[in-house]
Structure 1
Amino acid sequence: MYASLPGIDVYFEDHGAGAPLVLLHGGMQTLDLSFGALMPLLTPHRRVIPIELQGHGRTADPADREVTLANQAGDVVGVLDHLGLARADVLGFSWGGYVALETALRHPDRVDRLVLAAVNTRADGYHAEIHDPEQWATSTRMPSEHDFTAMVGEYERYGISTFEAVNAKLQPIVGAEQNWTPEQLATITAPTLLMIGDHDFVRVDHAVAMQEAIPDAGLAVLPRTKHTKVISRVGLVAPLVEDFLAR
């Protein structure tokens, strides 16, 4: 189903009943790729609302609408308004975590609890090899060929946007020297759970620094897990999320 918002129709789904939880997928992914395995474990306990962000899946990338974190945070709030929801828990993975974090900062009155999976706030939060094209190509921390094939396949499946065009718009943001300062993180009012893989391309010590900057935050480090697999380790993730949201 779609929420008709200013300048864009945003695709979302609505499953289950209970306290609402918004899910925001990874960059260049869809709600199915990011959350296909996780959603069935969450819907028995709560209302789950996965959203496909601008330029992803069934949500178009309008030529006259810039891809920004502010715009996409506004889209999250727009979907909540469309559903008549004053507040919700929000879980974001990777790019979706960027949007979730921006939503919590710009619209704190709309976010109850916040889950940030595989998220960094600045460029030096990545391992150094990620900034070296030669090392990047062979790094086991990066998405595999299978991962890229699956992402491109979703763009071909829906045929609304292209992988290359949307990726080019996201890269300046995810590669920015700094998207948020520690001082901004210190203003987050929502209880927060950070999750990261021990083989993520985001440094674990960076996640620790984020945890220390956010007033009410916990950190879970998933063993033997790289960036693209953080949210798919559902045997670990689902209990962590349920325990956190139930507190």
Structure 2
Amino acid sequence: MSYTHVTAPTQYVEVGGVRHAYRRFGKPGGTPLVFCVHFRGGMDNWDPAVTDGLAANREVILFDYAGVAGSSGEVPETFEGFGDDSAAVIRALGITQADVLGFSIGGYVAQEVALRHPELVRRLVLVGTAPRGGEAEGRDPKALEVAANPVPTMEDFLFLFFEPSEASQQAGKEFWARRHQRTVDVDPLSGPEVTKAQVAAIAAWREQVGERFSELKTIQQPTLVVNGSHDVMVPTINSYILQQHIPGAQLIIYPDSGHGSLFQYPELFVNHVSRFLDSERAFG
């Protein structure tokens, strides 16, 4: 049976006593693409237009971090911990090398997987994210408060992920509808303990450690950086910083869009990421 974002069954793999929820679907063979999700998110927070679009030519793997949504265990309080946990899941699934796509704090996780377990990562896609000790100017002071609402609403996502323009807001409403297409075997909502632990990890990530951005130069994997033109959660300037400091990285900025640019332009995003992952040289 050929599964999709909506129909792929939730499976479980045990890693260090933690039962991780995951889903696999798409075209088998080749290098799988592992998705690292945003703040408080689980597998159902991804856009089927993105996951199914990318699954047309490769296997896609979604999973829940330890202690989040459908996974057991305790939530790590550092992104080094998230990175080690994610690498362990990849290995437990029998994968020796993967492409890794990280969105928002998932981009922090993806960076740590690449830095701490470089042999596992073939190529890296960083979306709406920032380096350790990145720039805060441009972040809306209400962003984290809204993101921490016990049950985020469509209005919360329209504010956090999309621009105020009519076109961007309409794209946000369409994303919200797609995101809720899966109605069976869905992830449980994350509770306040997830918020608390991930906020602690975010606070630690925002602190500069050693020479600013120096660790980025050690990321040798081909890297694609993507963001919207006005990200109120993780200011867009951070995407430029990532591109400038990761050797050979390339950058795409989508117009009239914010933190959720990949959900506003899903077909374009899928096209750009697919070309990046499939290109023999990855650049040019």
Instruction: Judge same fold: TM > 0.5, yes or no.
Output: yes
Aligned to 1:85: 95
Do the aligned residues in 1 keep the contact of 2:257 with 2:264 (CA within 8 Å)?
Answer: no
How far has the Cα of 1:161 moved from its partner?
A: 4.3
1:145 aligned to 2:173? no
How far has the Cα of 1:122 moved from its partner?
A: 4.3
Aligned to 2:193: 165
Q: Distance in 2 between matches of 1:134 and 1:9?
A: 31
- Identical counterparts, % of pairs: 29
* Selected match of 1:206 from 214, 229, 238: 238
How far has the Cα of 1:78 moved from its partner?
A: 1.8
TM-score, length-normalised on structure 1? 0.83
Q: Distance in 2 between matches of 1:147 and 1:86?
A: 35
How far has the Cα of 1:182 moved from its partner?
A: 1.5
How far has the Cα of 1:208 moved from its partner?
A: 1.2
Aligned to 1:23: 35
SS class of match (1:89): strand
Distance 1:83 1:158, change over 3 A: closer
Do the aligned residues in 2 keep the contact of 1:117 with 1:231 (CA within 8 Å)?
Answer: no
**Which residues of structure 2 form unaligned runs of 5+?**
1-10, 147-152, 159-175, 280-284
SS class of match (2:260): helix
Residues 5-47 of structure 1: per-residue CA shift (max 9 Å, x gap): 1131111111121321111111112222124331111112001
Q: Distance in 2 between matches of 1:195 and 1:13?
A: 24
Distance 1:85 1:188, change over 3 A: same
Aligned to 2:125: 115
- Spell out structure 1 runs of 4+ moving beyond 6 A: 134-137
How far has the Cα of 1:116 moved from its partner?
A: 0.5
**Which residues of structure 1 form unaligned runs of 5+?**
138-142
Do the aligned residues in 2 keep the contact of 1:22 with 1:48 (CA within 8 Å)?
Answer: yes
1:237 aligned to 2:266? no
CA RMSD of superposed structures (Å): 2.8
Aligned to 2:52: 40
Q: Distance in 2 between matches of 1:53 and 1:175?
A: 18
1:222 aligned to 2:232? no
How far has the Cα of 1:76 moved from its partner?
A: 2.1
